[in-house]
Amino acid sequence: MFDSLKALPADPILGLGAKYKKDTNPKKIDLGVGVYKDEAGNTPVLNCVKKAEQHRLTTEMSKAYISPGGSPLFNTEMAKLIFGADHNVLAQDRARVISTPGGTGALRVAGEFIKSCKAGTTIWISNPTWANHIGVFTAAGLNVKTYPYYDYDNKTLDFDGMLNAFKNVGSDDVVLLHACCHNPSGMDLNKEQWQQVADVAKTVGFTPLLDMAYQGFGTDLDEDAYGLRLMADAVEEMIICSSCSKNFGLYRERIGACTIIGKSSTAVDLAHSVLLYNARVIYSMPPAHGAAIVETILTSEELREEWYGELKDMRDRISDNRNLIVEKLIENGVTQDFSHISRQSGMFSFLGLTPEQVQQLQDDYSIYLIGSSRMSIAGYSKDNVDYLAQSIAKVL
């Protein structure tokens, strides 16, 4: 059976990481991997997480399975985090949440759920988008198409192209939107643009799928969810995939959530039963440890406040790094305009380099980023930003 298989290419980001590890240059910089790093280049365990884990260590009494839906307390707290405690969909009992193996697990369950609603459904994703979106939804049997999003020439949002595309999608289609901190461009919708998109979604009747992997990494927890909450007010049905990997630093614990909004409490209960079935046949039961950490933090006033502070520190460092690289490029005589980096938000931005220049950065200066020139803003520090800016100036 295996003889018919052909080797598939490795994920470009994972392959880049392997090359970085083998590089012996002491000045090497990894701008490819999408995890938060501190000034020392580490991805730390948050102090609030350590305290929550200690609490779990002393109070956990069993390692028995939890249900396919996960911890009810985690699901309740995630709903409040996503929507805010007083949102209409919660007051109307129109939302249901299940915990999933990370944000990717949430997306895959969502894909299977969409297929259960209608086989062969078309899902529209932004151009560009997180590369794994295509693989996840294709594997779920959906028809994947793209809509315009990022204007590479002007380094801004192609909002007119995006909105025109939405006016022409089918009413049975699904449109995936990044709730905040767009990966890979860092270019987000403003409030007025979110309102226009919500109006079009309501008029056309397509189902929005909001991917919120970076809540709290943009402006703050509430502002980053502005578009999602606005959309939830505008439409009758919606899907949300969220992740605790970034804002809680729980990457390897693989905990996220898939949330569905229905037309009524009764309608969403029926949809929830299908969502639970999809989860059951994919991975059976979700992981419990990460969910227990999150629910412990969110239900403790002390730990929640500590989390707010640690999340703000990460967010501020990313914002400072955006301004820092722009300043250093100017200091090194770069005349090309990189101010778009300062105007964007979240973990990523496009440098706007050619694939050949990206390769030169890797070959000559041991600076690693993928061919599109998407870089992780948290990947450099005050100690090596001068070297990074000097190297970019040279390849330019």
Catalytic residue list contains 172: no
Task: Look up tokens 């929830």; give the residue.
Answer: 272
- 203 and 171 Cβ atoms separated by less than 8 Å: no
Catalytic residue list contains 246: yes
Task: Look up tokens 């390769």; give the residue.
Answer: 359
- 123 and 114 Cβ atoms separated by less than 8 Å: yes
Tokens coding 230: 């606005």
Q: Is 243 helix (H, G, I), strand (E, B) or coil?
A: strand
Q: How far is CA 25 from the centre of its chain?
A: 31
Catalytic residue list contains 38: no
Tokens coding 203: 């008029």
Q: What is the DSSP letter of 9?
A: P
Catalytic pick from 155, 246, 307, 328? 246
Catalytic pick from 30, 37, 51, 130? 130
First-to-last alpha carbon distance for the chain, in angstroms, is 50
Residue 219 identity = T
- 188 and 210 Cβ atoms separated by less than 8 Å: no
Phi, psi values for residue 148, rounded to 5°:
-60, 140
Query: Which residues are CB-contacts of 285 (< 8 A; sequence separation ≥ 6)?
Result: 65, 66, 67, 68
Query: Which residues are CB-contacts of 263 (< 8 A; sequence separation ≥ 6)?
Result: 94, 236, 237
Catalytic pick from 158, 173, 211, 224? 211
Measured CA angle at 44 (ends 30, 51), to 5 deg: 165
Phi, psi values for residue 238, rounded to 5°:
-165, 155
Longest dimension (CA), the chain: 63
Q: Which residues are catalytic, by number?
A: 130, 211, 246
